[in-house]
Structure 1
Amino acid sequence: MKPSSYPVGFTSEKKVKSSNLQSWNRKDTCPPGTIPICRMTRDAMFNVSSIKNLQKKHPFSKKLDVSMWDGHEHAVVYVKGGEYFGAKANLSVWNPHTQPNEFSLSQIWVLSGPYEELNSVEAGWMAYPDVNGDNHTRIFTYWTGDGYKHTGCYNHLCPGFIQTSRDIALGAKIVPISSYGGNQYHIIILIYKDPKTANWWMIYKDEPVGYWPSSLFTSLARSANSIEWGGEVTDLQTDGKHTTTQMGSGHWPSEGWKKAAFISNLQIVDGSNYLRRPEGLKTIAEKEECYSVQIGGQGGKNWGDFMYYGGPGRNPNCP
């Protein structure tokens, strides 16, 4: 129930002060042989718009060559066309405003296959009342084996992701949260393919949380052909106006450090199980007047390859 090995270059992050805790386990942990499972309270359940769609995303759309859906908007940095066996990054954590039934998230996507049969494993943080019953920022995982049509779900809402950690609760609140102009906090996520078992592990900071069995997938059973880092929101408004759901901090990438959301130390895992810097990074944002992304800028010490992203959603240029 542990990885057979870690990517070469992966080091312990126990002393990284800016990594986030979960509010539930500041004093407690689960007994050996058990794992923590978040319960949704009755009151929170009433805040969910549709029990039927609780675990799902909208189907994959072929309008772009990366992970884009109708009704979803992104600001991402990506690499595509190679053979990848994982990805790692530090994701700054915020608590963006979301409109009812919509979400805002920051994550890593590990993707493979044509859009009709897209395989994906994903992890990061999100504010999503439809899944969690409130707007708190929470850690999550997601997977699909068929382009989000029938397979896959968040966290433990369906079979698939096998958790091994008794210290990390998927869906638990993350504390503390970054503040505009104030202290900045981040989480560290690593997703990679175990060279011996072929399972895809998710590491949170330095804790192996669990894995997606290789048997869930078709093309991803071999490797990924695209990696993405960035933000995603849903715009489900029907009044002709753009959503006011924020991405990241709700501020533009051009505002930079302590104001815009960032993802730093972008890395991929290569075929020799080495962590290395990605080559040929590209950006994409469907509506740059609403949410945008930029590579580099003024970064912190030892940030490696990094990005700023986000935006407020509806504004004078994005009515």
Structure 2
Amino acid sequence: MDNEFLAREFETHRDHLRAVGYRMLGSTVEAEDAVQETWLRLGGADTTAVANLGGWLTTVMSRVCLDMLRSRGSRRESSLDEHAQVDPADTDPGAAPEHEALLADSVGVAMLVVLDTLSPAERLAFVLHDMFAVPFDEIAPIIDRSPAATRQLASRARRRVQGPAAGEGADAPSPADTAQRRQVIKAFLTASREGRFDDLLTLLDPDVVLRADDAAVAAATAALAHGAPALAGVVHGADAVAGAFVGRAREARVVTLDGRPAAAYVPDGTARSVFTFTVVAGRIVELGVVADPGTLAGFDIDLAATDA
């Protein structure tokens, strides 16, 4: 591939690489450094046999980030102010505003603080699999682990990101908290399938955020012909989220996901998508929809643990 072609192709992947770097490193400055190093490695590599340049670049970017995480030696003592002041929108004045808004939305200060507690391998496995739907067999060679071991790393990281499950320490949710979360999810599914918009609003925080992966958006788009509501990748506000779910959840039920109450769409005995809920004071403040098969394969979903 000639240099001009590679430069054009690299620019089409720059935003994606920046997003990977920001989630891996928690710093837009370091993410830009990693993007630049990836570009340099691209220039010095023989890419004639590369069939998927985007995947190749993601792998190289991941290796660069992994090296940077390991080179820190000990965990960075970065403050909340550092994370809050380094805004993704400050890195590239010419970047599309909607892209920067999505980048800033997808990883908050709290998430970055938790990610900083993970080992480099855990962080890479979790970020690539859960945030970018990279299969475990592609992540494994980057961290020199087997796919099974990589899956375990991601699962352990996911538990720490989501918070301790019951019985994992003093800060673990009480049985009452777990029961409340399960009842909120059950009520949400019931209101959704019965089309009770006002009841959905009572269960949702006014500033609730819904995030759906590409597979979930595609499935919802395909269902439009059957009268199902449209679904966007990121939806803000109780009215919009309730509108996206009213009339849905006809074959969804409460399950246990990685030890915590969640929901799953199970039309044929197999979870085809999962719904994650963050519940605070009896209201849903964040809701996630995951339908990518590779991501679902990394979840520990207990379909038997249900009361709906």
In the superposition, the TM-score normalised over structure 1's length comes to 0.26
Query: More strand by proportion, 1 or 2?
Result: 1
Q: Which has the higher helix share?
A: 2
Higher Cα Rg: structure 1 or 2?
A: 2
